Structure 1
Amino acid sequence: MNTQHLVFDNGSYNIKAGFVEQERPIKVQNAISKARDGHLYIGNDFQSSSSYSGLVFKRPHDQGHLVSWECEKPIWDYTMNEILNNKELDANSVHLTLTETPFQLPQLSMNTDQIVFEEFGFHSFYRCPSPSLAPWGFSDVSKVSDFALVIDSGYNATWIMPMIYQRVYWQGVKKLPIGGAVLDGLLKEMISFRHYDVSDEPSLVTTIKEKTCFLAQNFKESLQSRKSNSCEFILPDFKTTKVGYVKTKNTPVDTDAQSLKLFDERFSVPEALYHADIIFDNIASNSAPIQTASFKSLTDLVVQSIMSCPEVSRPLLSANILASGGTAKLPGFMERLRSELTKELPSDWLVQFKENGIDLEESNWFGGRALASSDIVNTVSISKKEYFEHGSNWCQKQFGFKNL
């Protein structure tokens, strides 16, 4: 039987999916959205709406965990139709490589396994944490290092995952519970307090973040020169633009267009990755436990992750850092982290990011495609026959994280 290989990077914001023969994955919004008029949209269908204003998104993930298959199933069906151009999927001849969040709750993973085999009926299946695929994302597989430290900054969180001989070193896996969702919420609060109420405009806030925000290389200096870092964002009028855009010197702008002048918001929001207390600046003073709590920064967790690994591997990990995820696409992300780590790690260690020229949001999918194209995938996968023979616990024994 000629088996096709389908790779699903099931992110909590976007699904990146496609067969290994495809040059690039398709991206589908992993959400069901509801317009003000009550109309429901699945996946990317909301883009056909005349207005993004007032859209409410329901996502099947909560805190990174896939908790609602009632919501996820129709999104998967939509994604399959997009990949196959409305042709019917013969799941009996398809191998599925599927990603999930690290430390996914076992019962939730077992629910996923049940859907994969009993609802969709895939021939075979490999489930793994999304960041673990990043080292495979190089076009030249010989460049896949035996030691890699993956910084996967996505929508719900930022994960630090050491990979030793292409296996997850679970004792070193760390989580910073700050990702695109938290940054969106912080930007929404800042804009609503300083400018306009955008509390009902999640799509607009995300667009503003993606087009204007960046990581300052020196936060204090950038704060002192906040005016030089200003930009003007033209708000959507739903006639000439549905999403808005950044005004430049050569941009023709309608005289009636509404705009938003952004200053320190551009770099103060992403700075939460390094100074989480920014998030709690507006919390009432009677929240003493939160106000006095010590929060780990991204730098602290990366250093902790490296130091949790075997001593001989530590300098090798710092020299082979891979970034992935949509939040890692913010300008200055890698440069700032490299600068911070250089200050904290031993001076004779090389701190280096490896780049493969792939969109960071898609790099895990490309890694999954490379893995699915290799012979290794056959040794780590579980077939539908094995699943029904051994029961639902079998997948968890094979794919689940090791108890620490």
Structure 2
Amino acid sequence: MKHFTHSAVAIALISALAACGGSGSDTTPAPVPDNTFSFAATEMVTNLTDDVIIAGYSDLAARGATLLASTQTLVATPSQSNLEAVQQAWKAARQPWEQGESHIFGPVDSLGIDPHLDSWPLNTTDLTTVLSTTTGFAAATIKGWNDDVQGFHTMEYLLFGDGVTTNTKMIADLSANERDYLMGLAEVFRDYTQNLDDAWLISHDASTGKAYGELLKNPGSDGNTFYSSNVGVVQELINGMIGIVDEVGNGKIADPFGADAGSADTSKVESQYSWNSLTDFSNNIIGVRNVYQGELAGAADKQGIVDFVAAADTELAARVGTEIDNAILTIQAIEGSNDMPFRQAISDVEGRKRIQTAIDALSTLQTSLDSDVLPLLKTWEV
């Protein structure tokens, strides 16, 4: 995941709120403005921690185990159907990971799991060298290699087509050594996703023995140097939403899109071999909706950031919800009526119009989160 920058408004707010939030700061809070509102955040924070963040990481770990099992079957019995099963397992694991980028803080960052699993672009030169000089791909060995020759996109490179004219790969084109490498990669992936789930549920740090989920749900508790109050937790959650909206609109989409069709750069398209880019992008913003609404798809109605916003401004709460939905729909619409992959849409006249519509929708959403939602932290009377 790329680093992102906040607007001047966000930077000023983060500085002013440092005493209320993470990082263990004890400085004096800024004066509270007159237009304050009240909101009891404990239920919301507990729900988001347990039913959105941890539920998502547990799902990811389960799908990581399925990906490994499917890969083991492929290695034992190489066939087109078994290859396609691994491809589907890869895509299935991609979903909770991309949705989880809306809250990419805590162990996924501190344990280095994000770059381990999702580094892009690949180092295809080193990948070629590894495949031509190495056999017997032990998981422990792969973990010692650079992040750009492991994780999602190395598996994608091996599993799918070249991405230029097709995302289809035939079993005859997948060598025995590539299958062995895939199995080692899948084992590493399973380990890292299980580590991430354990860090939120059991312990994120051997020195403290505390689960990160408990730290998020219990700010200000004994030994909690990460969060001193719910203000810091909500700030973390809102900033996570802003960060991924920024990354999708101004990075993942805009970088390969370029200023015009002549400057479009397909080499910058993430998930280009599988043609999964648009699904990735929409899942990123679905992840924002999960945090905002307080629920994964199909879950019972529970508290999310929308309830915090509604306590201050019901019209704003409804508007942001609509903007999130619109951003998702405009991203999904980029493929047009003929399922056009993103890497082709960036060079297509009509495709570029649809992409610009999505970029504009993401910009509108980011502005609302940055300029309207984040400032509510200053007027929240805890």
Higher helix share: 2
Return the TM-score normalized by structure 1.
Answer: 0.24
Higher strand share: 1
Return the TM-score normalized by structure 2.
Answer: 0.25
Q: Which has the higher contact order (CA 8 A, sep 6+)?
A: 2
